[in-house]
Structure 1
Amino acid sequence: MTSVLSEQLQCPVCLCVFTDPVSLPCDHTFCRPCISAHLLRSSAKSQSRCPECRGPFSQKDLRAHRVLTNIANAAREEEESGLAAREPEAPQGHTVASELVCPEHDEKFKLFCETDQRLVCVICRDGEKHRGHTFTPVKEAAKISKNVLRGALGFLVKENREIEGLNQQQASEIIKTKEKSKSLTAHISSCFEELHQFLRRREEELKEEQEREEKTTVAAMLKNDCVIENRLMIGREMEVTLQSALEIPESDHFLEWWSERGLPVIEGMKMKDTAKSIYRSRVRGLSVTPDSLNLGLYETHLPFCMWKEMLKVVKPVPVRLTLSSSDDPYLKVSEGGASVRHADRKGGFGFKYYRDYAATTTVVSTETVQTGQHYWEVEVGGKLDWGVGLKVKEDAGKESVLSPEREIMLHLKPEKGLVFSHDGVETPLMAAGGDPGTQAEAQVGPRRVGLYLDCDRERVSFYDADSMVLLHSSWCSFISPCSLCLCPGLYMEGRNTNPLTVCWY
């Protein structure tokens, strides 16, 4: 290989013959491992640029150079066979050294001890240290080792490509997560702003209503007060007149006043059409208009009223589901399909058989879902035994692909507490006494259960619907439409007959 050809086959980065050469958009060529390492280093800081012309590029711009790959491989084989005109230049950072000699015998290393994996001279081969060892000529051993090295390099390059792909995927997922976080933040702000607008609007409406009520009430009070003040003013004038007459010292002057003014005033104060001299009360007919200003229910239960009103504007709300009627004579679905309960039982089952039977008796909703996100709430109240979950809708005429054990359920069991059941495998969540892993008799569990189903992400989550605390979340897959599934639990001699009710909003 001539000097000019050798230079053309050298990677500008490592200064060695190309290994898996790739070209950039600017037509400069590099070893794939070299340019990938450069790309990895530069991508963390800024945009990646060509080491030679500084032109921008990305991972997707790398193009394999098949012709140059074949030429580089042929040149490498020629060098290794000893037919090259000169030794290949050493990688950057290394110097081309003269032939090595044995420091012990001052002889050239012509052999390679396969047993000890070290260079030896002819004299070393015949020595006691290497008796019975296997030897190979240096060039042949170098060729074999390079083949091994080339295989390891190929494996490493392949692994690095896969890792690089994972790195890019992870970076992409990080970007997607950040974008999703921004979207969710905007969604949260939008939802709360809608609620804020509703609350601000209702606040202004209630304030305006209160102001109108105040004006109406105060106007009536002011009108009544004018009547009272008018009578008071007249009464005080009469009081002053009569009081001043009592202060007239001369009898003749007093009687003159009495005949001209006093007697008419006194007669005017008496009630007419009566034989008795009774003074007419000027207080009669007057009353104080009481404070009647109030908001009614809004005055004492304003937050509750606003919550009820907000249900009209909150979207989405839990879907209204109706329960299908059951063939089980011991389960009664309400007329509207909103609840299911145990019927009264007299005799019949043996206890053990009944326990096994009752644990599998369920009803499902008539509505089914398979895509999207859905949320339902079920009122369980103070029941001692119940189950809420999902069941795949079985197609009529087809072999069932679901057994009762495949139901995804959240149970409350008297002897176990809260239990999650998936594919027949039970996972204790909260023991009956309130501590995981313990046994007790006290009933522990939510009074209302929320079930959130995300078909797209294949997850189902159970919540305490009163506090919105997550009780459990699990993976699930859907190959068929599924329905809400309710189990009223054990009859317990009539102590567990309260219904399970699907909440409607």
Structure 2
Amino acid sequence: MATAASVTSLVDEVNCPICQGTLKEPVTIDCGHNFCRGCLTRYCEIPAPESEESLTCPLCKEPFRPGGFRPNWQLANVVENIEHLQLVSTLGPGDEDICSEHREKVYFFCEDDEAHLCVVCREAGEHGTHTVRFLEDAAGPYREQIHKCLMNLRKEREEIQEIQSRESKRIQVLLTQVATKRQQVISEFAHLSRFLEEQQGILLTQLERLDGDILKQQEELEFLVSREICRFSALIEELEEKNERPARELLTDIRSTLIRCETRKCRKPEAVSPELGQRIRDFPQQALPLQREMKKFLEKLCFELDYEPAHISLDPQTSHPKLLLSENHRRARFSYKWQNSPDNPQRFDRATCVLAHSGFTGGRHSWVVGVDLTHGGSCTLGVVSEEVRRKGELRLRPEEGVWAIRLAWGFISALGSFPTRLALEKQPRKVRVSLDYEVGWVTFANAITQEHIYTFTASFTRGVFPFFGLWGRGSSFSLDC
């Protein structure tokens, strides 16, 4: 609240220079000074001295037009506020409930004008037709409305805070995914860089060998050509000398000389041997491994950037007693010896299977499973619905909430409504399982060669879990990071 000194200072700022009182209906003239309308009107009615042609401002003596008054509404509002502060500053403690106009205690509230009234105000004619109530009676309904508003606002604030918390967690997840993908890009390009350097070295070495072989053939060619030129030059010189001799000397041994020249066979050396030419023509074939590796690199990079690597572990609460899990829950091995595992609703009791510790309700995820069937047996990989049957016989097919393949010694089968044997060039040692929850794809591929194995199409409405099964002594699998 403004102090009396500050209010007095403000009052001094809005005084009329003519009457020295607080401005009433303030008006502004051409020079910018403000006066009460009444004071300035009376000032204009006073006859001006003969030396002055027009009216001048009472303060700065600048001329102004008598009809050029401009009402200053903004200053009028300031004056009104100052007068209110002046009144409030005169009230003592406990006088806040006193009517500022009649100096009577306020008991009533006019709902039409939203004004506080004393007894005199209530009896005034301007509130005669309005709804007037005692203060507490009038405040009751508004308190209820405020209570409802507070409840709604607090509820909305809690919802916003929940959204903030949820979105903050999602942002952290996204940041983690970006960091993972950044590391994947760095790792894959480092691998590619090493491979390209190796391939560059191999190709340059082969080109250097071709260079050396070409230069060697060039030396051999120059040697043969020089030798043949020397022989022909000697014969030419001999014939020229014979031709210059007298007839008697020319005819001496002429036949043997001509026979030696005519029967001289010319060796025509080849600049590039056919074998060397073929090697040069076949050189582009040496770059085919590079082309295949680049294609594999791009496919792998696009796949890993598209799918989020799932860092999963096995859930011992779901594991069949014949499966031996490692301490880190990332390996499993089949054993005919039953483990001492307590029974619970989550555990498989007939199918020798185990689930991952956590499942998925959306997104695109992939994980790699290393399969070891060196000593026989079989391994089943895929995903299952969270409602998959745990007790009794489990039929491995999509109708039962299972989308999986089975790897056995020498063959692979897709476990659809009817098992389908798949023809692959090579038995995979590592299988990549990929889940696209929204699209409904479960895809299997050879994680080493990137060869596609099989894809299931489904419509997921509930959570799904990575699924693993083993059968046969010595069969095992491991989860790759």
TM-score by length of 1: 0.39
TM-score by length of 2: 0.41
